Structure 1
């Protein structure tokens, strides 16, 4: 359940922070896994990001947004959020629905 909340929060953050619209023709949806341990959780996210962009800044903002959202909805302290960038998507790729 925590991973599903994190995946939805990541999709929202990806759309807001990385300017990738959350539609079916665009990049793959973010994935998330969660390891819960006594009132806290560690999250791992994987997602596509646009190129060019300030990747470190965007990743930091997404991590923060997801951690805050998961804490608000679950009451769990988020100890760590790791983010793996699966692919970099150019504007041309996103508009055609194709990802490299």
Structure 2
């Protein structure tokens, strides 16, 4: 009967690393943006999607670095700057927590403004 010897110990630097796919980071960022907008104004529409560019540093491949670009739809009238700051902060925090990636930059693009006055279905024809 052949005996199986235990595998030799591999140094930590040669074991490999977990790489988070760009689309996973994009989903985390989009969900975080929606969470932030819901917290800021619970009744508002929260259409947010993310475009993500991930930069990885050679010496820290297992962590990486994500530069995130988020496009959001915000209610109007509202404090657009404050909402953008909340989104930026929450996206940075959640990507760091869930993907263990540094997030040096989050660009928030206001893609569309949504006015509740335009949502009225009871308005008739204007003459």
Query: Do the two structures share a fold, i.e. TM-score over 0.5?
Result: yes
Unaligned 5+ runs, structure 2: 1-23, 57-63, 122-127
Unaligned 5+ runs, structure 1: none
Q: Deviations over 1:51-87 (max 9, x none)?
A: 1111111111111011101110000000100011111
Matched, 1:41 2:66: yes
Cα distance in 1 between the residues matched to 2:120 and 2:86: 24
The residue number in structure 2 matching 1:32 is: 50
CA RMSD of aligned residues (A): 2.0
Q: How many residues align?
A: 91
What's the TM-score, normalizing by structure 1?
0.79
Moved over 6 A (4+): none
What's the TM-score, normalizing by structure 2?
0.64
Higher helix share: 1
Cα distance in 1 between the residues matched to 2:114 and 2:27: 24
Whether the aligned pair in 2 keeps the contact of 1:48 and 1:88 (CA below 8 Å) is yes
Q: How does 1:4-83 map to 2 (within 5 A)?
A: 4-17=27-40, 19=41, 21=43, 26=45, 29-38=47-56, 39-83=64-108
Higher strand share: 1
Larger RCO of the pair (alpha carbons < 8 Å, separation 6+): 1
Greater Rg by CA: 2
